[in-house]
Structure 1
């Protein structure tokens, strides 16, 4: 019977071998066509590795207090067992009223983030789902809901060994703060009255470190958007 070390080595071998012919996730996104009501429907290939992160939507410029960048799109990532090596980046849908659905893939070295705003200037909250995704050593978090929550479904995912990378950043200022710790499998907004309550069900989270695994906040945590 394989022990944990053998399973890990086998997994890393598969990832490294498949990375030889990897394409970027952005290339797959750019090539994707509209389908089933989505502006971009990514049908990924089983066992193939896609590298790098993906930004959908706009960012906030603190100097002008305005949003900038490309308009959001409705996006579906049908993984079909593909490996997404985000290489320290993230899949982020940001400051838009669009949908991101991700399912049936393996994500390593990064995270999935829904980022929105709901204030006197903007009400730009993305929504969507993350289902049947296996996260291995995601950076910061497995899934982060930051200024979003309503109409978001997080269901039947496996999140193993989320990596604490230090303090997270307030996205409107770019300032890090100790009040935004990383290393949790799932991080949602504490302000559900402003951003809505996500549906979180039937997920499995685990840390190989016994102390981390015994800490409930390393599994799911509520965070303020502003530290």
Structure 2
């Protein structure tokens, strides 16, 4: 079961991962009101279970509330890879210095969680792994012991040289693993994980899939399912 970005961010936020504020709008008027509430440049983001939202025109920067309304009018009702957009996430825009990728998923061959990290964030990680494998670091976690602090540091150290950024990212990696295991996820990723000009590390996008076999143990997560955002074959 896939989660929307805003739903995944709720889990990230609960775990302590630095995530910008954001709220859902179902109408252009709600988008305009939220942009007014935030009082800054915002991003209007289509919420569908599909990649390539940006390329499809489903992610737009709005400089003022009227701009947010206009973008919401264009995005709501559009189709992205056959999926109709019924809601948009309104979130304050961030000043970005660098973009990285952090993800954890179940390695089916090893039956264990595997981390993938790369300093090349904001793009398709599979493409990076295929064309520039030296820019990707992988680590399989021993589920008997969980992710240890020095292992999280080793992953973060691959992304940054700055000790402060490494420290912040090590903590985020640990929090991502905790989110992954506690929700019964089969995948959780941050793409991109950004650094800001003032030296902060933040998760400005979030993606999670929950193992369907785990949903009976977690009815509160099962209730988050949005069948309208899934391909017909999955509903």
TM-score normalised per structure 1: 0.22
> Which of structures 1 and 2 has the larger relative contact order (alpha carbons within 8 angstroms, sep 6+)?
2
Structure having the higher helix fraction is: 2
Structure having the higher strand fraction is: 1
